[in-house]
Structure 1
Amino acid sequence: MIIRQGITGRLSKALVVNGFAFLSGLTARDTTGGVREQTEDILAQIDSHLKAVGTDKSRIAVANIWLRDIRTFDEMNEAWEAWVDKESPPARATVESRLAGEAILVEIQVQAVA
């Protein structure tokens, strides 16, 4: 059985299957801020989506982060390190990538144990 949350015409924002929660790649709702502000916005969305499917950030197993410019890695990490569960940080990858729009500076996708 698959449980889906936030279904749009092209994707589900989150789904749970076989004890794992999979979140779609998320971008900031407000793209007027810098990398830190966009990261904080995305992390708040992650908290909300995880809560909606019955889990939380302490149960994130994997995080993938895409940055428009890898030189903003430290700025993104400031927000990440203030947010991440220090007792159970996930495996993580961060890469530079062309993103879907010029104003999008960060995209984050996570998988968690439900």
Structure 2
Amino acid sequence: MTIERLHTDARMSLVVKHQGTVYLSGEVANDFAGDVQQQTRETLQNIERLLDQAGTDKTRILSATLYLKDIDADFAGMNQVWDQWLPQGCAPARATVQAKLYDPAVLVEISIIAALPDA
């Protein structure tokens, strides 16, 4: 079975495609200066771009894992942006956890698994 990796360096790939499934690494915003809503919007834009490059889209997301720096402070704000972004009827399996992220300024990180369209 062929494994295709996109945006790969020595440590990781941003996208891995295998047997009709697309795996995205944890995505974050490009600008860490904003609040959780701004960071969530930017992260979701990055996810959409990567899904498009992989040949799929947000309607085909199977699973999402969301990591928040402070779940008590940021859960509602993140969810407000997530709910506006996600197409109706396309809710994936999802988990949201609080985590110590790699940079103190990062408020949200999102990892995605999606299906490719049927060939």
CA RMSD, Structure 1 to Structure 2 (Å):
0.7
Pairwise CA distance, 1:9: 2.4
SS of 1:33 mapped into structure 2: coil
Cα distance between partner residues in 1 of 2:34 and 2:51: 24
Query: Match for residue 80 of structure 1?
Result: 82
- Gaps (5+ residues) in structure 2? none
For normalisation by structure 1, the TM-score amounts to: 0.97
Query: Match for residue 57 of structure 1?
Result: 58
- Gaps (5+ residues) in structure 1? none
Aligned residues: 114
Cα distance between partner residues in 2 of 1:111 and 1:54: 13
Pairwise CA distance, 1:8: 2.0
Choose from 103, 106, 112 the match for 2:105: 103
Moved over 6 A (4+): none
SS of 1:24 mapped into structure 2: strand
- Using the TM superposition, name which of 18-27 and 84-93 deviates more: 84-93
Deviations, residues 54-105 of structure 1 (Å, cap 9, x unaligned): 0000000000000000121000001101101212110100011111011000
Query: Match for residue 33 of structure 1?
Result: 34
1:9-20, aligned counterparts within 5 Å?
Answer: 9-20=10-21
Question: In structure 2, what residue type is equivalent to 1:79?
Answer: V
Question: In structure 2, what residue type is equivalent to 1:101?
Answer: D
